[in-house]
Amino acid sequence: MAVYTDVPDDALNAFVGAYDIGGVLACKGIAEGIENSNYLLQTERGTFILTLYERRVAPEDLPFFLGLMEHLAGRGIACPTPVPGRDGEALRELCGRPAAIVTFLNGMCVRRAGAEHCAALGRATAEMHRAGEDFPPGRENALGLPGWRPLFATCRDSADGIAPGVRREIDEELDFLDAHWPGDAAAGVIHADLFPDNVFFLGDRLSGIIDFYFACNDLYAYELAICLNAWCFEADLSFNVTKARRLIAGYRSVRALEDREIAALPVLARGAALRFFLTRLHDALFPPEGVLVGRKDPLEYLHKLRFHQRVTDPGAYGLET
């Protein structure tokens, strides 16, 4: 849950006055998006999301994020579209923070994603990758392979407090990933945080992808590896290979996977598990100030990492190579 910045009615009215969206009818702080303050804004012209960007988002990245959403939405991807003010500018300022209004998307997050949801996610992910092919690269993945070692350095001394031997285990994993990372696989703009809270459904139909504030240039198959981690494990951390098969088949029905992307999936899945283990470990050791959510358990991703370490063949993900 978030909403860090309280927007007074007079500041809001002045802000919305710069747009062609009519007068404000209502504006409610919503419990969505961990990193920013989000409001559901109702005006005489419809429903919108107003976002105030808080500390964890680098202001210099905002033109990339907003430009990407506009680009993708213009190509039919169900994602929020930034709404420009009358002066054409979508990125503005409110209460001393960068702020933007984007379109509202219907749909809800699913608590228990089924195989149909995974298939729809795979298709939508591939559609997003294809729609982003002609978007100019603009943001390295700050939480990609080169970022993991420095991130771990901030937690390394306390890592064994999470579980015995973790420090050494992660040191070895970083060495392994450095040695085996498939740097030459197909790359482009990825969302990089396609967790169930960022994907809306109406029934089985995927109705929207939100929260592009980790989007970056990285390997397409790494996105799929994040999804395998985030969508295909059950609550007891068993791996549901049917969901994985449907996810990947859905993806391949829209964008062909290269042989080297397929071959790299086990390594990429290890990397994705490590990435979320590390950020959760960091947040557990250094809780971000003002964040009200319960912390997420890093051990979940240590278990997932160990699962992928035992995978010797992409067939474990339901793939026929």
Point out which residues bind its own copies (CB under 8 A). 1, 3, 8-10, 12, 23-32, 40, 42, 47, 104-112, 200-202, 292
CB of 230 to its own copies, least distance (A): 17
Q: Which is nearer to its own copies, 23 or 161 (CB)?
A: 23
Q: Which residues lie closer than 8 Å to 18 by C-beta, 6 or more apart?
A: 85, 86, 87, 92
Question: Cβ distance 312 to 267 under 8 Å?
Answer: no
Q: Position of tokens 């795979």?
A: 122
Residue of 215, 93, 94 lying closest to 144 (CA atoms): 215
CB of 28 to its own copies, least distance (A): 4
The encoded tokens of residue 183 equal 């740097």
Q: Which residues lie closer than 8 Å to 146 by C-beta, 6 or more apart?
A: none
Q: Which residues lie closer than 8 Å to 284 by C-beta, 6 or more apart?
A: 162, 295, 297, 298
Residue of 302, 273, 267, 280 lying closest to 165 (CA atoms): 302
Residue 318: CB atoms within 10 Å: 19
For the chain, strand residue ranges (E) read 24-30, 37-43, 46-52, 82-83, 92-94, 97-103, 187-190, 199-202, 205-209, 216-219
What residue type is assigned to position 163 of the chain?
A
CB of 31 to its own copies, least distance (A): 4
Q: Which is nearer to its own copies, 114 or 147 (CB)?
A: 114
Q: Which is nearer to its own copies, 187 or 291 (CB)?
A: 291
CB of 22 to its own copies, least distance (A): 12
CB of 267 to its own copies, least distance (A): 34
The encoded tokens of residue 55 equal 């500390």
CB of 226 to its own copies, least distance (A): 22
Q: Which is nearer to its own copies, 30 or 299 (CB)?
A: 30
CB of 196 to its own copies, least distance (A): 10
**Distance between alpha carbon 16 and the CA centroid of its chain, in Å?**
28
CB of 85 to its own copies, least distance (A): 20
Q: Which is nearer to its own copies, 2 or 278 (CB)?
A: 2
How many CA atoms lie less than 13 Å away from 63 in the CB half-sphere? Answer: 5
The Cα angle at residue 11 between residues 7 and 12, in degrees rounded to 5: 70
